[in-house]
Amino acid sequence: QLQLVESGGGLVQPGGSLTLSCAASGFNLEYYAIGWFRQAPGKEREGVSCISSSVSYTDYNDSVKGRFIISRDSAKNAVYLHMRSLKPEDTAVYYCAAAWEAVVATTPCQLKYETWGQGTQVTVSS
């Protein structure tokens, strides 16, 4: 019943921009922390950016700080990842995930994420 769907991935040149969306159905996203994660070929999954529920604390991986921005849109029950100055090393499958918060987490990427989307491919190449 709880479902997340990512979209917005694609091929982009180095230095370009891309926005990913994560749309929720079956539950109200406002009561969950949402995280963006990525997995590159041959590498382990890593957290990219996460946002808490009502208070909206955010976490960013050091590798994307200053380049990526996570945001929420309550009206659309969605979360977005705005990416700019993309690098080839950003190439990966990007996933969004939801974590229920008993209390609002100040470091939301440390939560246990149990509901995952199917992923969307981001390829940064010239």
Per-residue pLDDT reduced to its tens digit, 61-83: 999 999 999 999 989 999 999 99
Q: Going by C-beta distance under 8 Å and a sequence separation of 6 or more, which residues neighbour residue 42?
A: none
pLDDT value of residue 56: 81
pLDDT value of residue 84: 98
Per-residue pLDDT reduced to its tens digit, 98-107: 999 878 788 8
Structure tokens at 109: 């990427």
pLDDT value of residue 105: 82
Distances (CA, A) of 106 to 56, 60, 103: 9, 12, 9
Per-residue pLDDT reduced to its tens digit, 19-50: 999 999 988 888 899 999 999 999 999 999 99
| Sign of the torsion angle spanned by Cα atoms 39, 43, 48, 53 | positive
